[in-house]
Amino acid sequence: MEIHSKQPIRVLCAHVSEHVERPVTVQGWVHSIRHLGQLAFVNVRDRSGIIQCVFERELTEMPLSLESVLSVSGIAALAPKAPGGMEIRAVSAHCMSAAAPLPFEVNKKTIGARLDTVLDHRVLSLRHPRLHATFRIQSALAGAFRDYLCRRGFTQIFTPKIVAAGTEGGSNLFPVDYFGRQAYLAQSPQFYKQMMVGAGYERVFEIAPVYRAEEHNTSRHLNEYVSLDVEMGFIQSEEELMDLEQEMLRYMLEKVAAECEAELALLGVDIRLPDDIPRIPVAEAQRIVERKYGKTSPKGDLDPEGERLICQHVAESGKAALVFITRYPREIRPMYAMPAPENGALTASFDLIFNGLEITTGGQRIHDYEELVSSIRGRGLDPEHFAGYLDVFRYGMPPHGGFAIGLERLTSRLLGQSNVREASAFPRDRTRLAP
C-alpha cells in the first residue's frame, strides 16, 4: 500500500493490529492530543475504537483541535503502553475537517454537562465512547428482537403512521392536516397488527416509532419512541405471550452480550435474565407493597413508586428486578382486552416491570366480533368509528394476543440510566423538537 497515495486504503483502528510493521492509513476524529518533548501523541477515534498515532518532526507542529477529522498514514507497530497495545508511527497526516471550540469535552470518562446541554449538542455528545456504546447496544437489541421472531415464523410488517382515529379511542393524539382532512399520528400499530394476524399471517411483528401527545415531562416519558410490537394468532391464553417474551428477552440479552462485549464492559453492565420471571396479579402486588412498604396504590394499578417497590420486593427474593403484573381491571385496559376467564371484571393482560419501570404492555385480545362491538359500546364509543378495524373480525379471527416493548425504556433499564431520554438518539418530549 502506498502511504502517500491520493486514495489510501483505510484501516479501522481496531484492525491495525492485523498490519504490524506494515503501512496503514486511519481516518477518524482527534480524541486527544499530548505533547512530550519532540513527540506528539494523537489518539484518533473511529467507529471501531481508538488508536495512538505518534507524530515526529514537522508533524508535531501541525495545528490540530479536538474532534477535528484527521487522516493519518504510517507504520503499524506494537506498543504495550498504548491503548490496545498498538500505535501508528505517522509519516503523513491531513486534517480533513477542522473542529470549532467544543461546548464540552467528549474525551473524559463522563461528559461534564447537564442532560439538556448534552441533548442540545446531541451529535457531538454521541461521539463520547459511553454514549456511543448505548446506541450500539440498542441496535443489537433491535436486531436480536427481529432475529428471534423471524426464526420462529413471524413476519415483519410495516404499518401506517398517519391514521384516521386513535387506537384506543382516547385523547393523547397528535393531529395532522391530511389534505384538508383531520388525521393523527399513530399511537400504536395495535389495530394493524391484529388485522395482519386476521389476514392469515398469524405471527407478525414491527419495529417502528409511535406517538403519544401526553403532557408528561418526566424521566419516564417520550412523546415519540420506538415500539417493538408482537402479535400472534391461535393462542390459548396470555400465558403463552409471557412465555414468548421471557424466552425472547433471554435470547436478546445473550445476543447483545456476544455482540457488544466491549460496550458492556465499558459501561460496567452485566446483563442476565432469571430462569423465570415472577407473575403476580395486580391486586396481590398492591397488597405486597402496602403490607411491606406501607404504600397505597391507585385503584386497579401500580403508580411509579409502586412499580419500583414491587421490583425491589422481587429483587430481595434473590431474583433479577423483573416482574410480570397480571389481571388488570377491564376499566383501565383498552376495549380490545380479553376478559379473564375466571372473572369478567379483570383482563387477560399483563405489564412487564423492569428495575421499577414498565417496559411492556400486552395480553390476549377479544377475537369475537359481537363481543368486541359490545366492548367498544361499553366504553361510550361508536363502533362505526372503528369500521375498518372491525371488518376483519366479521370474517373469522383466531384467538390472538401480543405485546409491545418500548425500546428506549428497555435500553435505559438495562444500562441503569436514570432518564429515558439518554436512550433516545434524538428525543422528542414536550419541549424538544430539535436537533
pTM over 0.85: yes
For residue 3, what pLDDT band results from cuts at 50, 70 and 90? very low
Write down the pLDDT at residue 240: 98
Please write the tens of the pLDDT for every residue from 110-121. Answer: 999 999 999 999
Domains 13-97 and 122-423 share a fold: no
Give the residue among 40, 41, 50 at the shortest CA–CA distance from 15: 50
Q: Judge whether residue 167 has pLDDT over 70.
A: no
Q: Judge whether residue 275 has pLDDT over 90.
A: no
Write down the pLDDT at residue 153: 98
Cβ contacts of residue 78 below 8 Å, gap of 6+?
Answer: 20, 85, 86
- Percent with pLDDT over 70 in the chain: 97
Cβ contacts of residue 395 below 8 Å, gap of 6+?
Answer: 198
- Percent with pLDDT over 90 in the chain: 88
Q: Judge whether residue 6 has pLDDT over 70.
A: no
What angle do the packed helices 304-316 and 282-293 form, to 10 degrees? 80
Q: Where are the domains of the chain?
A: 13-97, 122-423
Write down the pLDDT at residue 2: 37
Q: 72 or 171: which carries more pLDDT confidence?
A: 72
Check if the beta carbon of residue 287 is closer than 8 Å to that of residue 308.
no
Check if the beta carbon of residue 172 is closer than 8 Å to that of residue 165.
no
Amino acid at site 354: F
Can you tell me the mean pLDDT for 349-374?
Answer: 97
**287-293 long-range contacts, CB within 8 A, separation 24+:** 288/313, 289/313
Write the DSSP string, 293-307: H-----TTS--HHHH
Alpha helices of 159-281 — where are they, by DSSP H?
A: 190-196, 238-259, 261-267
CA atoms of 413 and 423, how far apart (whole Å): 9
Write down the pLDDT at residue 340: 98
Give the residue among 433, 408, 427 at the shortest CA–CA distance from 125: 427
How wide is the angle at C-alpha 76 spanned by C-alphas 131 and 135, nearest 5°?
15
State the average pLDDT for the chain: 94
Can you tell me the mean pLDDT for 68-81?
Answer: 95
Check if the beta carbon of residue 63 is closer than 8 Å to that of residue 94.
no
Q: Judge whether residue 8 has pLDDT over 70.
A: no
Query: Which cell numbers hold the place of 180?
Result: 384538508
Write down the pLDDT at residue 7: 53
Residues flagged as binding site for L-aspartate: 168, 212, 361, 365
Can you tell me the mean pLDDT for 3-21?
Answer: 80
Write down the pLDDT at residue 317: 74
For residue 413, what pLDDT band results from cuts at 50, 70 and 90? very high
Please write the tens of the pLDDT for every residue from 242-256. Answer: 999 999 999 999 999
For residue 9, what pLDDT band results from cuts at 50, 70 and 90? confident
CATH classification of 13-97 is 2.40.50.140, yes or no? yes
Q: Judge whether residue 427 has pLDDT over 60.
A: yes
Tally the C-alpha atoms within 13 A of residue 18's C-alpha that lie toward its C-beta: 7
Write down the pLDDT at residue 1: 32
Residues flagged as binding site for ATP: 212-214, 220-222, 358, 406-409
Using the 8-state DSSP alphabet, how is residue 201 labeled? I
Can you tell me the mean pLDDT for 84-113?
Answer: 94
Write down the pLDDT at residue 218: 86
Residues flagged as binding site: 168, 212-214, 220-222, 358, 361, 365, 406-409
Please write the tens of the pLDDT for every residue from 313-338. Answer: 999 876 778 999 999 999 999 999 99
CATH class of 122-423: alpha beta
Q: Judge whether residue 4 has pLDDT over 60.
A: no
Q: Judge whether residue 5 has pLDDT over 80.
A: no
Check if the beta carbon of residue 409 is closer than 8 Å to that of residue 359.
yes
Can you tell me the mean pLDDT for 227-231?
Answer: 98
